[in-house]
């Protein structure tokens, strides 16, 4: 039995982690959970898994850091959206816990800082995001120097093939119903603007240590191929499975073993066709903003991450329309003065700078 802590247990990923744990009894004991609010969901999780410690996010970063630091904790799932879990992630690395990472912001906002910590404490990070899990799996047994490029696949979101004019009429409800994946509201908006894919490009850049020029995005609406790696000899390895977060979660939790899964598997004959197209970055510029921010480096990726966080919040509160989201991010990309080699404190301070600029 391994002792696991789940940061973000009532979120979409957290709940699916618990489903995987439930499906494989006697492998993990849930010793700690952290959630945003005291909900009935949390109460039933406490009843079922009987964790030793429960933390509410409102108790602050320090209590999250304490939770991951207990000596009896082996592994930590980081699945709290935003940068709330950044300090706790660094703490968990320092304490040499095995990390299962779902929170994109950890690498997007603090990639170099996190990578430095991983090198120093020599521990492994296993990605839970389907795309990064796919790349991780395609790279097994391969020499990274032979990678020509990574091809991140993308469903295209609910407005794939829409024009710029159509996007002005987008309603919130249309954004919140993703065609392929089950997800929370922030990531649903990010998937519709393609900002999510932009963040995944940055995540892959830090996670696999590859230059941005070697990371490409390809629209693949069926969501069957979760990403690909092209090698120097022209061979492309792809990972196919049903679009279900529980599969990459199970892969990470059991790595390097592959136990049977109790869920439905992929039936290619039922799917029949797989299609691909290039992303339309004129209509969905957020994808491009991620590349630009990544090239600039320093605190620029963190700045666009915060700009997006604020813009999505405003959109969900009906303060702006869908098409305003990329405009807000572009404004920050043009005006933020990046700090290079920032500390965690400096990274978190960028949020206030961005908020002031957007007032």
Q: Given the rule CB under 5 A, which residues bind Mg ion?
A: 129, 131
- Work out how close the CB of 104 gets to Mg ion at its nearest, in angstroms, rounded to a whole number: 8
Residue 35: closest CA among 53, 16, 19, 55: 55
Shortest distance, CB of residue 130 to Mg ion, whole angstroms?
5
Residue with Cβ nearer Mg ion (128 or 332): 128
Question: Which of 210, 183, 193 minimizes the C-alpha distance to 158?
Answer: 193
What CA dihedral angle connects 104, 108, 110 and 111, to 10 degrees? 100
Q: In the chain, how long is the greatest CA-to-CA distance?
A: 56
Q: Which is nearer to Mg ion, 109 or 348 (CB)?
A: 109
CB of 331 to Mg ion, least distance (A): 26
* Residue 241 beta carbon to Mg ion: minimum distance, rounded to whole angstroms: 13
Neighbours of 345 (CB within 10 A): 8
**How many Å apart are CA 105 and CA 257, to the nearest integer?**
28
The residue with its CB nearest to Mg ion is 129
Nearer CB in complex with Mg ion: 131/309: 131
Cβ proximity to Mg ion, 45 vs 103, nearer residue: 103
330: exposed, middle or buried (C-beta count within 10 Å: 0-12, 13-18, 19+)?
middle
Q: Find residue 229's DSSP bridge partners.
A: 150, 237
| Identity of the residue, 227 or 299, whose beta carbon is nearer to Mg ion in the bound complex | 227
Minimum CB separation from Mg ion for residue 265, in Å?
A: 20
């Amino acid at each position: 039995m391994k002792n696991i802590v789940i940061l973000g247990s009532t979120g979409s990923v957290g709940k699916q982690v618990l489903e995987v744990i439930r499906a494989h009894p006697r492998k993990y004991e849930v010793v700690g959970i952290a959630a945003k609010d005291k909900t009935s969901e949390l109460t039933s999780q406490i009843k079922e898994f009987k964790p030793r410690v429960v933390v509410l996010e409102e108790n602050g970063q320090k209590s999250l850091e304490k939770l991951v630091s207990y000596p009896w904790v082996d592994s930590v799932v980081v699945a709290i959206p935003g940068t709330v879990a950044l300090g706790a992630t660094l703490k968990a690395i320092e304490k040499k816990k095995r990390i299962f990472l779902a929170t994109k912001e950890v690498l997007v906002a603090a990639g170099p800082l996190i990578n430095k910590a991983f090198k120093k404490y020599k521990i492994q990070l296993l990605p839970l995001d389907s795309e990064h899990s796919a790349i991780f799996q395609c790279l097994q047994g391969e020499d990274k120097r032979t990678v020509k490029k990574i091809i991140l696949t993308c469903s295209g979101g609910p407005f794939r093939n829409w024009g710029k004019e159509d996007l002005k009429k987008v309603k919130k409800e249309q954004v919140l119903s993703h065609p392929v994946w089950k997800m929370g509201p922030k990531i649903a908006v990010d998937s519709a603007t393609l900002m999510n894919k932009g963040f995944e490009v940055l995540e892959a850049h830090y996670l696999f240590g590859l230059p941005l020029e070697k990371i490409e995005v390809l629209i693949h609406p069926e969501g069957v191929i979760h990403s690909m790696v092209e090698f120097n000899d022209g061979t492309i390895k792809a990972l196919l499975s049903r679009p279900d977060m529980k599969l990459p979660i199970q892969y990470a939790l059991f790595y390097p073993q592959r136990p049977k899964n109790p869920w439905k598997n992929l039936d290619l004959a039922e799917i029949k066709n797989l299609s691909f197209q290039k992303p339309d970055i004129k209509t969905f510029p957020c994808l491009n903003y991620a590349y630009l921010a990544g090239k600039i480096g320093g605190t620029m990726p963190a700045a666009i991450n915060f700009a997006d966080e604020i813009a999505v919040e405003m959109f969900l509160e009906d303060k702006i329309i869908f098409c305003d989201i990329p405009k807000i991010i572009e404004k920050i990309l043009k005006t933020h003065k990046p700090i290079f080699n920032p500390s965690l404190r400096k990274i978190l301070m960028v949020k206030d700078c961005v908020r002031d600029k957007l007032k």
